[in-house]
Amino acid sequence: MGDEMGDELGGTKGEAGNEPLERLIARLQALYASWGRETTVEQMRAGWEEFFAGAPDPDEYVEVSAGGVPACWIGAPGVRSDRVVLFLHGGGFQIGSTHSHRALIAAISAESGARALGVDYRRAPEHRFPAALEDVLTAYGWLLNQGIEPAHIAFAGDSAGGTLALAALLSLRDRGMPHPAAAVLMSPWTDLAATGESYETRAARDPLNNRPMLLAVARNYLGASGDPYDPLASPLYADLTNLPPLLIQVGDREVVLDDARTFAEKARATGVSVDLEVWDEMIHVFQLFPAELPEARRAIARIGGFLREHLA
């Protein structure tokens, strides 16, 4: 793996033969179909939380204030409290929470042997860019003030959370602050202008996302006058030098596939260590569903191994 582009991983059946995945997609599509033009963001948030209502609660789930930012400690039994994964949930900067992502966060904690701090950053449209990024940086500073060494912290995020993880790394570098040991990015949305070829080549295969929808989400996050080419909004357009080692996982069916591939190419060209995994037939942030997808469990195990290596 390592420096090889597009390491293909996944199941042995084609898309039409993966019954657990098909059932999951049908459930997700039913949720998305219930949202119309009149649906408020509050209703979408409630629907998303209800979708994950049956997820098991972690062994440790403790709400805290991370320098004034709502957060939650999530941990599996026996993990080290001096090793921390700072987790940033996805949801287009508008929905999702540490609570909706608790099963994924707990699984990453168990596989990595580290405690996780989920950050409930401010969401759009009430709080537009760069409010969420400011909250992430505040939470990271709070961890440092708790005595956690930067070398013992890793960032992890899915979708928009992956965007925020990268933006935080860039901000820390530019401010001359110590960066964490590594970062894990699941289906990262690195280009809010949505310029990659996969927005066309995967349009018929991605059952959840499409370019017009993502552009609308980006406008809601950035505001009418916001710039989708701002490097802290779209890390694809940043100077990527001096970033810590990265693990990127993305599904082969995703319209944001090139957000991951092109970002990995650019980062490697500057000397950044990047492991890119392209998971055959998988959908956007498939890791959210370890109880349903064996591929999700395998992907989380690989995340755990990467984090154990870099947090050691």
Q: Which of 109, 159, 171, 234 is catalytic?
A: 159
- Which segments of 105-228 are extended strands (E)? 114-119, 153-158, 182-186
Q: Which candidate, 207, 229, 202, places its Cα nearest to that of 218?
A: 229
Strands 114-119, 153-158: pairing kind: unpaired
Active site includes 225? no
Q: Which amino acid is at 118?
A: G
The secondary structure of residue 6, as a DSSP letter, is T
Bridge partners for 276 per DSSP: 248
Among residues 254, 277, 281, 295, which one is catalytic? 254
Query: In terms of C-beta density within 10 A (0-12 exposed, 13-18 middle, 19 or more buried), how is residue 31 classed?
Result: middle
Cβ atoms 171, 134 nearer than 8 A: no
Is 49 annotated in the active site? no
Token readout for 111 is 């596989």
Q: Is 159 a catalytic residue?
A: yes
Considering only CA atoms, give the Rg of the chain: 18
Q: Do residues 48 and 100 make contact, with C-beta atoms less than 8 angstroms apart?
A: yes
CB under 8 A, 24+ apart: contacts of 40-47: 41/94, 41/95, 41/125, 44/94, 44/95, 45/94, 45/95, 45/96, 45/97
Catalytic residue among 281, 284, 295, 310: 284
Active site residues: 159, 254, 284
